[in-house]
Structure 1
Amino acid sequence: MKILGVIPARFKSSRFPGKPLADIHGKPMILHVYENAMKVSLFDKVLIATDDERIASECTRHGMSFVMTSDEHKTGTDRVAEVAEKYAADFYVNIQGDEPLVSPDTIELAIQPAISNADFDAINLMTEIRDISDLVNSTIPKVVVNIRNEAIFFSRSPIPYPKSERPKYYKQVCVYVFKRNALRRFVSLERGPIERSEDIEMLRFLEDRMTVKMVEVRDDSVAVDTAADLEVVKNILANRKKLK
């Protein structure tokens, strides 16, 4: 069984241009993500997938394996799908280049169900929301699941609505596992009205009635979407270093 780790990295983020190269304690953010991925024993190979020569240059400087991809992709999953056409594997694991806090152990928790159970199109991680600010933050996608822990819906709004009782709330942790056929199907589809509205790529799977298996993890994570998020990550990593 062959498992490929892919870290999509684009320079032209609308909210935070150049964020893969943002400095975190002397290293670019993308290097933190790459080093975490390289500690995952289940990976046969880890690649950064980028469309920008500045990121490619930084990869070369730090000895990170990378592949150049199209600059036309709308989502990281589209970029991973291009990589899947170039590199044969049983599973492709998309590790977001803006989540430097995701640990190797957490990544492996996404992969284990793929190895033991083939009944899925995609696997995604989720964690319980414990901070009310995360619940109302529209940059953080929330998810609701059925009794089989399959995604029913993703939204930037707080879901579900607590009309009768207060539910548990969950947010995405942006690690995904895909099969090649599911990626091919994904890129063959137009962005549906719900995906366009919410701007959450996993909704494309749901709008086409594909199965997204959700795996709950305890680790929290912070996606770096803004300069303020970057400062939060810096503080968390600094505190972790003090505790060692």
Structure 2
Amino acid sequence: MDIIGIIPARYASTRFPGKPLADIGGKTMIQRVIEQCKKSEVLKKVIVATDDERIFNHVKELGHDVYMTSADHKNGTERCHEALKLEGGSYDFVINIQGDEPFIEPEQIKLLASILDRKTEIATLIKCIDHLDDLQNPNIIKALKADSGLALYFSRSPIPHMRNIPTEDWMKSHQHYKHIGMYAYRVDILARLVTLSPTPLEIAESLEQLRWIENGYRIKTAITPIETIGIDTPEDLEKAMKEMPL
């Protein structure tokens, strides 16, 4: 099974412009993401897909593989697809690794790779929710899965809704999961995903993966015990550096 890791990295960000180049203990954020990906040892190759010359030149100077992609892409899935076409070669799966997760654990990438097989269309990770505040936070995406592991739905709201149970007891009555935003796509499926138009559920929740579910694609999930820390603001980075060893 040949898997390529692609890291979409945009310079423009409303809340944290230029964050892929932010310094984290003497290394840039994008450098740390690349290095963590390569430690997983399950990726045949790791490449960065960017739309900015500053990021492109920096990654090149570090000696890593990078492609300049269109600034018009609406999401990381589209950017991954273009980078894969530019790369060429023969791969079975693409793993899309978020460019703003410098503390991603190689074990998470290995876990995602371990559930891939020829029948897998899309795969992702989920994690048990341990705190009621997280369950109620609309910025934390919740996931609902079948016993088979296939995703049933993703939402910004708590799912399932625990009818006739006090909110404070929801955590005791059902195991809730949150979504970890790393995807594996079978290469032929990725080519189809980028042709799909936005769907009503996707628009309602502002969640791209609902477009895939509405179009009948199956998303396999694996449960990780490892927390991830995405960096959306300078304050997130400051907090993460206090909590995470470098």
| TM > 0.5 fold call | yes
Superposition map of 1:161-180 within 5 A: 161-163=161-163, 164=165, 166-180=173-187
Where in structure 2 are the equivalents of 1:1-244 lying within 5 Å? 1-86=1-86, 87=88, 88-114=90-116, 117-163=117-163, 164=165, 166-237=173-244, 240=245
Equivalenced residue count is 237
Secondary structure (helix, strand or coil) at the match of 2:115 reads: helix
CA RMSD of aligned residues (A): 1.6
Q: Give the match's secondary structure for 1:234.
A: helix
Deviation larger for 183-192 or 137-146: 137-146
Superposed CA offset, 1:97-142 (max 9, x none): 111222111101000111xx32221000111111333323322211
In structure 2, the CA distance between the partners of 1:227 and 1:161, relative to structure 1 (3 Å rule), is farther
Partner Cα separation in structure 2 for residue 15 and residue 158 of structure 1: 26
What are the superposed Cα offsets for residues 160-180 of structure 1, whole Å, 9 maximum, x if unpaired? 222245322211112211111
Length-normalised TM-score, structure 2: 0.90
CA distance in structure 1 between the partners assigned to 2:200 and 2:15 by the alignment: 22
Aligned AA (1:218): P
Q: CA deviation at 1:28?
A: 1.3
Q: Which amino acid aligns with 2:179?
A: Q
1:77 touches 1:201 (CA, 8 Å); kept in 2?
no
**1:214 and 1:94 mapped to 2: Cα distance?**
15
Counterparts in 2 of 1:45 and 1:232: CA distance versus 1, 3 Å: same
The alpha carbon displacement at 1:215 in A equals 0.5
What are structure 1's unaligned runs of at least 5 residues?
Answer: none
- Secondary structure, aligned partner of 1:183: helix
Q: TM-score, normalised by structure 1?
A: 0.91
Which amino acid counterpart does residue 101 of structure 1 have in structure 2? F
Structure 1 residues 231 and 134, CA gap change in structure 2 (3 angstroms): farther
1:219, distance to aligned residue in structure 2 (A): 0.3
Q: Is the partner of 2:183 in helix, strand or coil? A: strand
Secondary structure of the structure 2 residue equivalent to 1:188: coil
| Whole-angstrom CA distance in 2 between matches of 1:191 and 1:118 | 27
1:177-234 CA-to-partner distances (Å, cap 9, x unmatched) read 1111111111111011221222222112111010000110110111112223212221
Q: Is the 8 Å Cα contact of residues 128 and 218 (structure 1) preserved in structure 2?
A: yes
Return 54-63 or 93-102, whichever deviates more. 54-63
